[in-house]
Amino acid sequence: GNPFNYFTQGVVCTEVEIDVLSGNHRTLQSDLLVDVGASINPAIDIGQIEGAFVQGMGWSTIEEVTYADDDHTWIRPRGSLFTSGPGTYKIPAFNDVPETFNVSLMDNVDNPFAVHSSKAIGEPPFFLGASVFYAIKDAVTAARSQNLGQTSYFEMRMPATSERIRMYCADPLASQAVSRMRSQENSIESFQPQGSY
């Protein structure tokens, strides 16, 4: 097809480390390569890309939205948003940024249909931040392989909060807790953690 004039794309490779006992994760390294056309100001473009990446990383790993619903009956009135401020809604901080964070702009990708051959880059790198979620899922898959002896598909829901990572790893303690809670054997394999609240 014919994408719009500011059509852009990018790729990212992310490495994470998870603590299977606490559920915490560290983003060790993220390497991004983004097509921004002929950059008018590379420093601003790289800053925009870094900001969008960190925002997407937060959205997919720590920013949990909680409403008053059947699972959260203690929140009043029904339908209201509980996580509406900095006391209840966690956003990325300085220590959440990848420890090694490399952003590169593609060369020789002029865009003859736009102003000075540029492309839009404010929001497109946002979803590249989800690479942190998928790197966490790969690490959790390795933990599940060790703890359950299998690497079969499992559904892992966003955001990948510490509580969810801890339970998804399915170690013996988590398995015992879920089995008692559900009164079933092997229920950890399909268990879906509900999050922080």
Two tokens at 84?
A: 């509406």
Contact 69, 47 (CB under 8 A): no
Is 123 noted as a catalytic residue in this protein?
A: yes
What are the residues whose beta carbons fall under 8 Å from the beta carbon of 152, sequence distance 6 or more?
none
The strand pairing partners of 31, in sequence order, are 13, 102
Across the beta sheet with 25-34, the strand order is: 10-18, 25-34, 100-105
Q: Which helix (H) or strand (E) holds 80?
A: none
Contact 105, 34 (CB under 8 A): yes
Give the active site residue among 123, 163, 185, 189: 123
**How far lies 76's CA from each of 72, 79, 81, 90, 197, in Å?**
9, 8, 9, 21, 14
**Closest alpha carbon to 96 in 39, 20, 151, 14:** 14
Two tokens at 17?
A: 């480390």
Two tokens at 64?
A: 């949990």
* CA R_g for the chain: 20
Amino acid code (one letter) for 20:
V
Catalytic residues: 123
